[in-house]
Amino acid sequence: MAYSAKIGPSILSSDLSCLGSECVRMMECGADYLHLDVMDGHFVPNITFGHPMVECLRKTVGQDPFFDMHMMVSRPEQWVKPMAAAGASQYTFHLEATTNPGNLIKEIRESAMKVGLAIKPGTTVEELAPWANQIDMALIMTVEPGFGGQKFMEDMMPKAGANMIVSGSAVIGSEDPRSVIKMLRDAVAEAIQKRSLDR
C-alpha cells in the first residue's frame, strides 16, 4: 500500500480575528487539510472554540477543506453530534478522555465522520493498539496537548511512522507557509520511501 504525506496546519496558531481568511490562505499554500484544536479548559487548561466556530468556518471556506477536529475535551461523547452538524470531517478524540472508546468510535461513524484517536506523549502505543483497526487515523502527540508553540519532542518518534503531519506555528507563523508545507511533505515522503527500501 502506497502512503503519501499530508500536511495539516493547526489553525489555532493563526490570527484568530481573521480565522476564515487564514484557513483559505493555508489551503491556497498547499495544505491538505485543516487541523482544528478544540480545548475545553478541563482536559487541558486552555479554552479555544467549539462547534459554532466550526459551522462559521465551514460556511466561509466551503465543503472542500477536510476539517480534522482535535478534541482536547474531557467528555468527547458530548460533542460528536454538534461537530458533525457543524461540518466536521474527522473527529479525533483522546484515548485518555473516555472510558468507552468502542462506543465513541461507533457514535462518530454513525454521525458520518471519520475517526481519529489521539494519545498524549505519556500514553503508550500499546494502549492505542486494540483500537487501530477501527480508526482512520492515530494522532501521536509530539507535544503536550493544550499549548501551541512547543518544542517538538523527538523522543516520540519511535512510537509510530507518520504520514499526516500537524504543524501550527512553524507553518502559519512562517513568512512563506507554502515552502514550509512543501518541505514537510518532502521530508515525510523521503522517510516513507527510505523505510520502504529498508524493508
Compute the distance between CA of residue 8 and CA of residue 32 in angstroms, rounded to an integer: 6
Annotated binding site: 10, 35, 37, 70, 146-149
Q: Stretch 85-89: mean pLDDT, rounded?
A: 98
pLDDT band at 155 (very low <50, low <70, confident <90, very high): low
Sign of CA dihedral 165, 166, 169, 175: positive
pTM of the model: 0.90
User: Is 199's pLDDT higher than 70?
Assistant: no
Annotated binding site for substrate: 10, 70, 146-149
Domain ranges, ordered by start, for the chain: 6-198
First to last CA, the chain: 13
What is the residue-wise DSSP string for 61-92? H-S-S-EEEEEE-S-GGGGHHHHHHHT-SEEE
Compute the distance between CA of residue 76 and CA of residue 71 in angstroms, rounded to an integer: 7
Residue in 30, 20, 21 with CA at minimum distance from that of residue 58: 20
Output b/e per residue, 43-54; b: 16+ Cβ within 10 A: bbeeebbbbebb
Catalytic residues: 37
> C-alpha distances in angstroms, 186 versus 63, 165, 180, 181, 191?
27, 12, 10, 9, 9
- Predicted confidence (pLDDT) per residue in 31-59, tens digit: 999 999 999 999 999 999 999 999 999 99
Compute the distance between CA of residue 65 and CA of residue 8 in angstroms, rounded to an integer: 10
For the domain 6-198, what is the CATH superfamily, name and number? Aldolase class I (3.20.20.70)
- Predicted confidence (pLDDT) per residue in 107-153, tens digit: 999 999 999 999 998 899 999 999 999 999 998 887 666 666 666 65
Compute the distance between CA of residue 69 and CA of residue 28 in angstroms, rounded to an integer: 20
- Name the one residue in this structure whose C-alpha cell is 502505543: 125
Annotated binding site for a divalent metal cation: 35, 37, 70
Give me the pLDDT at residue 110, please.
Answer: 98
